[in-house]
Amino acid sequence: MNINAGMDGVVNGTILTSSNASTPAEISIKLRGSDGEATTQQVTTNSAFSFTVDSPELWSPSSPNLYDMTISVGDDEISSYTGFRTVSRGVIDGIERQLLNGEFVFWFGTLDQGYWPDGLYTPPTYEAMVYDISTLLDLGYNMLRKHIKVESDLFYAAADEMGILIIQDMPSLRPSQTQTLDNCTEVTILPDATQQAEFQRQLELLVTQKRNYPSIVAWVVYNEGWGQIVEGQYPEFGLTDVVRSLDPTRLIDSTSGWYDHGAGDFHDNHHYANPQCGAPFYSIQSTPYDEQRIGIQGEFGGIGQNVSIEHLWNVQAAIDTINQTYEIDTTIESWRYRGHVLLGELRDQVEMYACSGGVWTQTTDVEGEVNGMLTYDRRVQRPDTDQWRADVQALYDAAAARGNSTMRFML
């Protein structure tokens, strides 16, 4: 099933059946909003359809309106939901911006790796996942970047219901690695043709399986060059086209961090600890801001503050890497001061330059990093809620002040 509902009320989709696929069957689709009003439409299986719902209640972080959906085929019936919203890009006062429902909405979220001390990549409960999202919302975030991990469907359903935007990464092949040859020459280890084909196959599965969730607003193909072929060819261009063909309703961050050759909708810089977002300065692993694309800070911050052993991943190898965290602040007071300063720098770049979004590292501590909003066990929160919310609101206010004169174009 593929269902997309736009801000104009148009519902586009295709529904496939597992039996009698060669013979189209009639389907009844019923959508019901919070007002109880229902729209029923008759379509056929295995072919594209389109119909319109009048004056839909739109989905956004401030109003995560969802429509119950019932699909009936003969005696079979399934229940689901959808949300009416449109993700696009356009030019506002000469700057490329991402648009949600036709308006520039500044995306600000955390790098969300989804690690758990008692289950590693597996959360202990549904409520635990919801707690992480609710903490981010309480701190003022409207987005999270799901970092090189795919969550269970329960996670995305919770994001839809709670109203948080998701930038979804494709899990990487591996970090960039090198090999030293017998002649002492160092060469980069690149994916072979089989590995690259499998990467594309799984990327297509990711997009196909998750494209019905309204909260997902962008796909990330590569992160910081991990598994990215950067010699002789640039596969991110072809992969971007593949993702666009499977899902033309979202934006694509082809290379988050580096190596950026101009593909996709975003110019995405990573820099620790301070940001370099849509600005006329950059560092060695990045590239000058590309005015033809949307400028976002795909990772920054990352400041850490050590805690007592009961809140850490109590494995010596992980403990030994704590000082490799991008910056360590020795007191919680200094951590909060540094966070305030760095968010202020990002606000300046929103006001002065072309910064359209940012990703703070990160939601929680992980095995060898102590730079989360929360400790690994989720028992200690580092930010002062009131101060953090005020600093984040200042980002939204700065963006709103530059959000007039919208000229839109849809993907």
List, for residues 24-66, the tens digit of each pLDDT value. Answer: 889 999 999 998 889 999 999 888 999 999 999 999 999 999 9
Half-sphere exposure of residue 213: CA atoms within 13 angstroms, side-chain side: 28
Position 221 pLDDT exceeds 80 = yes
Position 405 pLDDT exceeds 80 = no
Percent share of the chain, pLDDT over 70: 97
What strand order describes the sheet that includes 95-100?
103-104, 95-100, 87-92, 406-409
- 79, 52, 84, 53: which is closest to 66 by C-alpha? 84
Kindly list the distances between the CA atom of residue 61 and the CA atoms of 4, 49, 218, 270, 374, in Å, as whole numbers in the listed order: 18, 28, 15, 25, 22
Residue 328 structure tokens: 């360590």
Give residues with Cβ within 8 angstroms of 34, minimum separation 6. 57, 65
Confidence of residue 410 (pLDDT cuts 50, 70, 90): very low
Domains of the chain, earliest start first: 2-82 (2.60.40.10), 87-409 (3.20.20.80)
* Arithmetic mean of pLDDT, 297-308: 96
Residue 186: what pLDDT? 85
* Tens of pLDDT, residues 106-145: 999 999 999 999 899 999 999 999 999 999 999 999 999 9
Any idea which of 228-232, 315-319, 384-388, 405-409 has the lowest mean pLDDT?
405-409
* Tens of pLDDT, residues 62-102: 999 999 999 998 888 999 999 999 999 999 999 999 999 99
Mean pLDDT, the chain, integer: 94
* Arithmetic mean of pLDDT, 404-410: 42
Position 13 pLDDT exceeds 90 = yes
Residue 406: what pLDDT? 40
Pairing of strands 49-52, 10-14: antiparallel
Torsion of CA 99, 105, 110, 115, to 10 degrees: -50
Confidence of residue 232 (pLDDT cuts 50, 70, 90): confident
Residue 46: what pLDDT? 87
Give the integer Cα–Cα distance in Å for 384 and 402: 28
Pairing of strands 251-256, 216-223: parallel
| Cα angle value 203/208/214 (rounded, 5°) | 115
Q: Which span out of 315-319, 324-328, 381-385 was modeled with the highest average pLDDT?
A: 381-385
**Cβ contact 81:40 at 8 Å:** no
Residue 121: what pLDDT? 93
Position 20 pLDDT exceeds 60 = no
**Cβ contact 365:110 at 8 Å:** no
* Arithmetic mean of pLDDT, 343-364: 98
Is the pTM higher than 0.75? The answer reads yes
Kindly list the distances between the CA atom of residue 285 and the CA atoms of 226, 256, 406, in Å, as whole numbers in the listed order: 13, 12, 33
Which is more confident, 368 or 200?
A: 200
Chain centroid offset of residue 281 CA: 25
Residue 411: what pLDDT? 43
Query: What single-letter DSSP state applies at residue 6?
Result: -
Give the integer Cα–Cα distance in Å for 168 and 155: 12
